[in-house]
Every structure is written in C-alpha cells, then in structure tokens.
Amino acid sequence: MSIEVTNLTKVYGAQRAIDGISFTLKKGEIVGFLGPNGAGKSTTMKILTGYLKPTEGLAKVSDFNVVEQPMPARKSIGYLPEHNPLYLDMFVTEFLLFSGKLYGMSGATLKTRVEEVIAMCGLEPEKKKKIGQLSKGYRQRVGLAQSFLHDPQVLILDEPTTGLDPNQIQEIREVIRTAGKDKTVLFSTHIMQEVEALCDRVIIINKGKVVSDSSLDELRSTGNSLEEIFKNLTRSE
Ligand SMILES: Nc1ncnc2c1ncn2[C@@H]1O[C@H](COP(=O)(O)OP(=O)(O)OP(=O)(O)O)[C@@H](O)[C@H]1O
C-alpha cells in the first residue's frame, strides 16, 4: 500500500480533530479527500507527512511507519501544505535549487531536475522572477514544483487550488494530472468538479470520522450529484 491509515486519532486539548479514521491508497490511485472546514483533512495530512504526531493509531506511507521510520517515509512524499511557506525574496530557480539541496540533491542532477520541474509546472516564463513578484497561481506552481523535486512516489496536496482563478485552477489541475500519472496522490479540496476531473476515488470525512470511501463510479451510480452526497453526509444537525 502507498498510504495506510489505521484507527488514526489526534486530540488537541479537549478536541478530537480526527477520531479513529482508517483508509488505504493503492499505488497509482488519485484520491480526493473531502470534508467541511474543520473536518480534520489538514491534520490527517500533517500526520502522514510527519509534521504532527498522532495521539493514537498507525500511519504508513510507502510501507514506512511515519512515526518510527520518518526519514524514508518523508523521502517518498511530496507535500504541498495548505498555506505553503515560500521564501518571497528568492528567485524561482534559486529557491528550487536550494530546496533540492535540502533533499540531498546536487550538481548536474539537481540542475537538470530543477529545469524538468520548471517545465512540468509551466514556470518557464516566470523562473527569473522573485517569488514575491509572482501571482498566487504561479506561487502555487512553485510549491508544486518543490514538492515534485525529489520525484516522490506519493503526493500529498492540501487544497492545491484554493484561492486561484478558474483559468489557474484548470492549469494547476493539468499539472497534477500529468505529474500524478505514475504516482499515488491524496489531495484535499472543496471543489467538487476538481474531484470529478481528477480522482478515481473519494474519501469524505466529517467531524474527524470517515463517512464515505467510494469510487466515483459507485457514487455516480447512486443517481445523486457529488454535491448532494457531500451535503447529506456532512450536514450538521
Ligand atoms: N494546533 C491546533 N490546536 C487546536 N486545535 C486545532 C489545531 N489544529 C487544528 N485544530 C482543530 O482541529 C480540527 C480539524 O482541523 P483541520 O485543520 O485538520 O481541518 P480541515 O478539514 O483541514 O479544515 P479546512 O477545510 O478548514 O482546512 C478543527 O476543529 C481545528 O480547529
């Protein structure tokens, strides 16, 4: 399994941000992770990427336990956090070269890879600018390029298209589709069309619990739209 989550729980003070969730992603699957604000999507992703420790339960990425084997687990992950921190004073190419070095890459291999991810993410026209001068969509492309740098097997993308205009959304989706071809991708979003455009499967969480885990085909066969299904499963009484 590329991602394996078993009875995962995270408690902040008195609040159970996630409450015994379980799911798996097979190699090569693209899965949408849906849930209303505060459902626990980012918390789950932060545990998978090693930024948070779970209170209980098990999380594995590429068969590595993220708590006990954090380094090999992290090496196999490309992560785009929700509020992606970027160095605004750095030039695009400079930033990617710097990030590659943090992954232990160097020399000609690093330079070639940086050019590859720049091309993959459509950053060629902007690569000589400072990140602070870029539009939101291009900044997001820099974040994606950074997450692809070490050619990870698993991509974990937290709301990659939030705050972008419709054209940029379309373009970022294309980047994810192309980059995700031979990878396992878990991404969170609030945009249902995104799920329909990109995913094989959808996991919906609400108040820290998995309330649905089905293929898009299974959901379509209910005769309801994804919006209706989402609303019914996450309505707060
Ligand atoms: N550091 C923290 N301390 C206390 N509570 C937190 C912390 N981080 C998250 N929470 C709470 O945990 C719950 C889950 O938050 P999380 O950010 O995982 O949700 P989300 O599904 O990603 O939401 P959104 O769609 O708004 O990004 C929320 O109620 C949130 O307030």
Q: How confident is the model at residue 65 (pLDDT cuts 50, 70, 90)?
A: very high
CA 105 / ligand 1 centre spacing (Å): 34
CA 20 / ligand 1 centre spacing (Å): 16
pLDDT tens, residue by residue, 150-177: 999 999 999 988 878 888 888 888 888 8
Q: Average of pLDDT values for 19-34? A: 96
Whether 22 contacts 6, CB under 8 Å: yes
CB-based contacts of 186, cutoff 8 Å, min separation 6: 3, 25, 31, 33, 45, 48, 154, 155, 156, 157
**Which ipTM did the prediction report?**
0.96
Whether 39 contacts 209, CB under 8 Å: no
> What's the token pair of residue 102?
């943090």
Check whether 236 has a pLDDT greater than 80.
no
**Of residues 79, 4, 62, 8, the one with CA closest to residue 40:** 8
Query: Taking the CB of residue 139, how many other CB atoms lie within 10 A of it?
Result: 20
Q: Which H/E stretch holds residue 59?
A: strand 56-61
**Of residues 58, 108, 105, 48, the one with CA closest to residue 79:** 48
CB-based contacts of 229, cutoff 8 Å, min separation 6: 204, 212, 219, 222
Q: Is 83 in the pocket of ligand 1 (CB under 6 A)?
A: no
Please give the domain boundaries of the chain with CATH numbers for all domains: 1-76+154-237 (3.40.50.300), 85-151 (no CATH)
Q: Is 46 in the pocket of ligand 1 (CB under 6 A)?
A: no
Q: How confident is the model at residue 181 (pLDDT cuts 50, 70, 90)?
A: confident
Compute the chain's Rg from CA coordinates: 18
Q: How confident is the model at residue 237 (pLDDT cuts 50, 70, 90)?
A: low
CA 14 / ligand 1 centre spacing (Å): 13
Cα–chain-centroid distance for residue 40?
Answer: 14
Residue nearest to atom 17 of ligand 1 (CA): 42
Q: What is the DSSP letter of 103?
A: T
DSSP strand pairing (64-65 vs 56-61):
antiparallel
End-to-end distance of the chain based on CA atoms, in angstroms? 36
Residue 1 pLDDT: 87
Whether 113 contacts 141, CB under 8 Å: no
Q: Is 42 in the pocket of ligand 1 (CB under 6 A)?
A: yes
**Of residues 59, 58, 49, 3, the one with CA closest to residue 26:** 3
